[in-house]
């Protein structure tokens, strides 16, 4: 049809629809109606043809009927009076012998969406519920839901509700699912469809007959049902077994969500269910659909929160493809960080290094950030890669590397030397504000170690008038002040120029107020300024290991198979927008002051041979109480890297195995073992344990997640003990806390090398009960433990050089911390 104006188009179409010659030719009449629909889809207002289209619906041609009904449903609200003319035709079609015509008439009768037509629609819908054709019953069931949505405040007809409940046993599965949806809509204010035991088992038995979305709907509604007995629960789990490994990801996800809901009190069964869905999730990650891949990756991250090793053997499945979009690549890199271990770290770092030069800057920066997170455990390897990337002299790569280094030294202070050497020359490449803020923070904290720090600052100060970033200006003020504290001769002149500009010429009030604060602070004296500005350089209590402690499944089960995992952009990522990491605080347990709870009342006396000593910590947790004969303090300096700790620990272990206790006793080295009664320590969160240890200057190097057996924690500290008339004596102590899950033990004290002999005690065997978990072979075992029973944690300490009194004093402090955490846990 040639292009005409909208009025001319409507006039031409009306003339064609009213032409008797066109009406007599069925093909021409249908093509004319098709032109009307095409004009409507192009935005032309063809509502003026409503009366002509009403006449056109009186035909036996099903295709023409469908076209006319599309038009009538679109413009019925604009022509409510003329729409009454359609009702007679539709009611007549509801009596047609062709079930397709009957279903089409019912569907469009409810799609008119006119409250004035409700009284004409109810009778055909009631008859449709009893129609012999399944396609008509499907439409009639959903028609009642549409009718209720049209008049939500009207009274609910109990007869209709009973009829819909009876149709839950309809032989057609689509009718059954449509009844569930309709009842959910109609009974929304009453909590939705009522689910009891007969309905639940009926739906489960017919689950395989439904299509994919029908199964998902049934599984979602069944989450409301709670089994009345354990046997019934296992019967339901058996019926769900096949759906748990369904090749359709939506069905698998809905089944697992139902599994987690039913097994909330059975963690062993829930964990076994997570293991079973590993295959379907990996298959979904290789789906052709990008949306399916992204959704599967998001839900895998959710599962890794409770089962970190779930995908460990399949880490190669998360390597990025060249043609994959950036959002999938970034999500895969987040998963790879969670899967790093000693066996695959080299391959993963090599893979991530390749992503750092990706053409997409966001992907490249995400890869660099992922390397930085891995650097918390493997700092040497990661720093080597990050330093090499700085040599590329690319703006976005240099910015991301500097920000990553800033975050890395905040949690791993032992990396500071390498980072300081790599900073020289970075300012020439940095252009974005976030990268410059990160560089300035590093210069403010480690400026005394960077030889050209004053010259780098001078470049920033000379260009402060053209600086547009508020964050860079404020960070520049803080950095210059801190550098003045350690290098006053080189920084005094530029500090004066910077303060003068910020106070006299700067228009931003935030920068001006900060400059005035620093100026008045300097008037109070250098020592007062130093107390305010010399903050922490790092926060090892945030953890030196990547990943997260294993969370209970109940914390995220409710968000599984929802949009919530897709909204979470990152997992425990460091914010790139902050200027100084020390502005972020870490509170392991809100409203709890650990220093107040570490008192002498919780000290347990340590027995070893005939000697006996005890100790406690004061509120600062740095000094032993007077019960220890010689003053003892603990220190984290010099810091140990995870690699150095592992080397020293394994070296001492090998010497102990080769030479034996008697020979090592003569050397300047001691190995000591002790068992401590501390309830619930293995269930304590790693964050709380790290924070408590950090409070008394004990650094945790590695730990296993809570509720994992055997449970281990590795730690170290330096003891400094002052002897009268002598210089302070320093020793290094390496420690291991081990809990194997054996209860009802008699306390065992091993004298170790200190006493020259080893005394071993007997242990009672742990009693376990086995119960059948599910019909598909799952079994859960629970430890037979009484309420309030205490657990024994084995403490192994290795000290060099040997100092028995310092070792016993350290053990007193460690015992105090463990008892404090244990009492808080209870």
Q: How far is CA 235 from CA 7, 204, 230, 751, 772, in A?
A: 67, 10, 9, 54, 12
588, HSE (Cβ side, Cα atoms, 13 Å): 23
C-alpha 385: how far from its chain's center?
A: 27
Q: Are strands 779-783 and 611-613 parallel, antiparallel or unpaired?
A: unpaired
pLDDT (0 to 100) of residue 257: 95
pLDDT tier at 766, thresholds 50, 70, 90 = very low
Query: 10 Å Cβ neighbour count for 292?
Result: 16
Burial (Cβ within 10 Å: 0-12, 13-18, ≥19) of residue 282: middle
pLDDT of residue 764 exceeding 50, the answer is: no
Query: 10 Å Cβ neighbour count for 300?
Result: 26
DSSP string over 711-777: EEEEEEEEEEEPPTTSPPEEEEEEEEEEE-S--SBPP-EE-HHHHTS-----BPPPPEEEEE--TTS
pLDDT of residue 544 exceeding 80, the answer is: no
Cβ neighbours of residue 22 closer than 8 Å, sequence gap 6 or more: 16, 28, 29, 32
Distance CA 808, CA 607 (A): 9
Distance CA 63, CA 636 (A): 82
Mean pLDDT check: name the lowest of 336-350, 726-740, 770-784, 812-826: 770-784
Query: 10 Å Cβ neighbour count for 104?
Result: 22
pLDDT of residue 597 exceeding 80, the answer is: no
**Average confidence (pLDDT) over 507-525:** 93
Distance CA 597, CA 267 (A): 32
* Residue carrying structure tokens 């619906």: 57
Note the pLDDT tens digit of each residue in 206-248.
999 999 999 999 999 999 999 999 999 999 999 999 999 999 9
Mean pLDDT check: name the lowest of 56-65, 365-374, 613-622: 613-622
Indicate the length of the chain as a whole number.
826
Mean pLDDT check: name the lowest of 483-492, 538-547, 707-716: 538-547
* Residue carrying structure tokens 């170790």: 752
Tell me what percent of the residues of the chain surpass a pLDDT of 70: 80
Spatial CA neighbour of 106 closest among 140, 77, 147, 156: 140
Query: 10 Å Cβ neighbour count for 430?
Result: 18
Q: Mean pLDDT of all residues in the chain?
A: 81
Tell me what percent of the residues of the chain surpass a pLDDT of 90: 49
User: Radius of gyration (Cα) for the chain, nearest Å?
Assistant: 37
Rounded to 5 degrees, what angle do the CA atoms 790, 796, 798 make?
155
The DSSP call for residue 624 is: B
DSSP string over 451-487: TTHHHHHHHHHHTGGG---HHHHHHHHHHHHHHHHH-
Burial (Cβ within 10 Å: 0-12, 13-18, ≥19) of residue 37: middle
pLDDT of residue 193 exceeding 60, the answer is: yes
pLDDT of residue 342 exceeding 80, the answer is: yes
**Average confidence (pLDDT) over 135-145:** 95
Residue 794 three-state SS: strand
Note the pLDDT tens digit of each residue in 306-326.
998 899 899 999 999 989 999
Phi, psi for 245 (deg, rounded to 5): -115, 30
Note the pLDDT tens digit of each residue in 356-368.
999 999 999 999 9
pLDDT (0 to 100) of residue 331: 95
The DSSP call for residue 95 is: T
Tell me the range of 85-94, 248-257, 540-549 where mean pLDDT is highest: 248-257
Query: 10 Å Cβ neighbour count for 692?
Result: 26
pLDDT (0 to 100) of residue 657: 60
Note the pLDDT tens digit of each residue in 243-282.
999 999 999 999 999 999 999 889 899 999 999 999 999 9
pLDDT of residue 55 exceeding 80, the answer is: yes
Answer whether 370's CB lies under 8 Å from 352's CB. Answer: yes
The DSSP call for residue 814 is: H
pLDDT (0 to 100) of residue 82: 84
pLDDT (0 to 100) of residue 614: 34
DSSP string over 395-428: HHHHHHHHHHHHHHHHH-GGGHHHHHHH-TTGGG
pLDDT (0 to 100) of residue 107: 93
pLDDT (0 to 100) of residue 405: 94
Distance CA 383, CA 379 (A): 6
Mean pLDDT check: name the lowest of 334-348, 480-494, 628-642: 628-642
Spatial CA neighbour of 178 closest among 209, 150, 208, 139: 139
pLDDT of residue 154 exceeding 60, the answer is: yes
Phi, psi for 473 (deg, rounded to 5): -65, -45
Tell me the range of 252-256, 466-470, 784-788 where mean pLDDT is highest: 252-256
What does pTM read for this prediction? 0.68
* Residue carrying structure tokens 């924070």: 691
Phi, psi for 475 (deg, rounded to 5): -70, -35
pLDDT (0 to 100) of residue 85: 83
> 269: part of which helix (H) or strand (E)?
helix 267-276
pLDDT (0 to 100) of residue 791: 57
pLDDT of residue 648 exceeding 80, the answer is: yes
Q: Which two tokens stand for residue 512?
A: 């001006």
Answer whether 824's CB lies under 8 Å from 602's CB. Answer: no
Note the pLDDT tens digit of each residue in 695-729.
778 888 887 777 777 888 888 898 876 544 455 67
**Average confidence (pLDDT) over 328-335:** 95
* CA-CA-CA-CA dihedral for 84, 86, 90, 91, to nearest 10: 40
pLDDT (0 to 100) of residue 615: 35
pLDDT of residue 589 exceeding 70, the answer is: no
Q: How far is CA 127 from CA 110, 123, 145, 160, in A?
A: 14, 6, 15, 11
> 152: part of which helix (H) or strand (E)?
none
């Amino acid at each position: 049809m040639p292009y005409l104006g909208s009025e001319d188009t409507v006039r031409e179409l009306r003339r064609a629809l009213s032409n008797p010659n066109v009406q007599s030719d069925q093909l021409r009449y249908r093509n004319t109606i098709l032109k009307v629909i095409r004009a409507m889809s192009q935005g032309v207002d063809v509502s003026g043809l409503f009366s002509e289209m009403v006449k056109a619906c009186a035909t036996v041609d099903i295709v023409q009927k469908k076209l006319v009904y599309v038009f009538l449903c679109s413009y019925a609200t604009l022509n409510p009076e003329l729409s009454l003319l359609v009702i007679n035709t539709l009611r007549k079609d509801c009596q047609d012998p062709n079930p397709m015509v009957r279903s089409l008439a019912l569907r469009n009768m409810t799609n008119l969406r006119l409250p004035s037509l409700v009284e004409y629609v109810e009778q055909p819908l009631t008859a449709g519920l009893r129609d012999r054709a399944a396609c008509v019953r499907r439409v009639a069931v959903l028609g009642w839901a549409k009718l209720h949505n049209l008049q939500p405040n009207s009274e609910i007809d109990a007869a209709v509700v009973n009829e819909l409940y009876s149709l839950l046993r309809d032989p057609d599965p689509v009718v059954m699912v449509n009844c569930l949806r309709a009842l959910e809509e109609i009974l929304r204010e009453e909590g939705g469809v009522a689910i009891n035991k007969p309905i639940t088992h009926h739906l489960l038995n017919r689950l395989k007959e439904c299509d994919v979305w029908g199964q998902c709907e049934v599984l979602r509604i069944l989450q409301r049902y709670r089994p009345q007995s354990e046997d019934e629960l296992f019967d339901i789990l058996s019926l769900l077994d096949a759906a748990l490994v369904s090749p359709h990801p939506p069905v698998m996800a809905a089944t697992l969500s139902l599994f987690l809901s039913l097994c909330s009190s059975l963690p062993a069964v829930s964990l076994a269910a997570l293991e079973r869905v590993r295959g379907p999730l990996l298959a979904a990650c290789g789906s052709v659909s990008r949306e399916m891949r992204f959704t599967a990756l998001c839900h895998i991250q959710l599962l890794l929160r409770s089962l970190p090793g779930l995908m460990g053997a399949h880490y190669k499945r998360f390597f990025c493809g060249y043609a994959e979009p950036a959002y999938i690549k970034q999500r895969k890199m987040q998963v790879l960080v969670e899967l790093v271990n000693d066996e695959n770290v080299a391959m993963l770092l090599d893979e991530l290094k390749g992503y750092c030069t990706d053409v997409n800057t966001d992907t490249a920066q995400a890869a660099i950030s992922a390397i930085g997170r891995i650097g918390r455990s493997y700092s040497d390897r990661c720093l080597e890669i990050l330093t090499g990337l700085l040599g590329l002299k690319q703006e976005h790569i240099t910015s991301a590397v500097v920000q990553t280094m800033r975050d890395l030294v905040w949690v791993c202070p032992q990396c500071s030397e390498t980072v300081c050497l790599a900073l020289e020359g970075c300012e020439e490449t940095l252009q974005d504000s976030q990268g410059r803020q990160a560089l300035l923070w590093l210069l403010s904290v480690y400026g005394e170690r960077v030889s050209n720090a004053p010259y780098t600052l001078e470049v920033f100060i000379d260009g402060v008038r053209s600086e547009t970033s508020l964050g860079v200006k404020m960070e520049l003020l803080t950095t210059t002040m801190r550098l003045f504290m350690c290098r006053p001769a080189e920084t005094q002149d530029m500090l004066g120029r910077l303060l003068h500009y910020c106070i006299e010429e700067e228009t931003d009030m935030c920068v001006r107020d900060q400059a005035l604060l620093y100026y008045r602070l300097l008037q109070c004296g250098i020592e007062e300024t130093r107390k305010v500005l010399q903050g922490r350089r790092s926060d090892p209590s945030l953890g030196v290991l990547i990943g997260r402690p294993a969370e209970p499944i109940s914390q995220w089960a409710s968000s599984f198979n929802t949009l919530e995992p897709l909204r979470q952009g990152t997992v425990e990522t460091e914010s790139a927008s902050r200027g100084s990491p020390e502005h972020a605080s870490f509170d392991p347990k809100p409203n709890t002051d650990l220093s107040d709870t570490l008192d002498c009342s919780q000290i347990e006396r340590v027995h070893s041979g005939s000697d006996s000593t005890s100790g406690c910590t004061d509120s600062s947790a740095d000094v032993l109480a007077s019960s220890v004969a010689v003053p003892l303090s603990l220190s984290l300096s010099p810091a140990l890297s995870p690699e150095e700790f592992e080397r020293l620990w394994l070296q001492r272990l090998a010497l102990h195995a080769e030479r034996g206790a008697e020979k090592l006793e003569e050397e300047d080295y001691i190995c000591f073992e002790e068992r401590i009664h501390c309830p619930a320590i293995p269930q304590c969160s790693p964050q709380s344990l790290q924070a408590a240890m950090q409070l008394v200057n004990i650094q945790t190097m590695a730990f296993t997640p809570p509720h994992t057996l055997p449970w281990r924690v590795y730690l170290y500290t330096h003891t400094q003990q002052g002897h009268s008339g002598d210089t302070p004596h320093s020793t290094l102590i390496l420690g291991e806390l081990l809990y194997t899950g054996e209860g009802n033990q008699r306390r065992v004290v091993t004298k170790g090398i200190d006493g020259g002999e080893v005394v071993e005690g007997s242990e009672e065997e742990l009693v376990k009960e086995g119960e059948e978990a599910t019909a598909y072979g799952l079994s859960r075992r629970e430890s037979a433990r009484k309420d309030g029973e205490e657990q024994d944690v084995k403490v192994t300490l290795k000290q060099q050089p040997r100092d028995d009194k310092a070792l016993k004093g350290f053990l007193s402090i460690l015992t105090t911390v463990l008892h404090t955490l244990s009492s808080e846990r209870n």
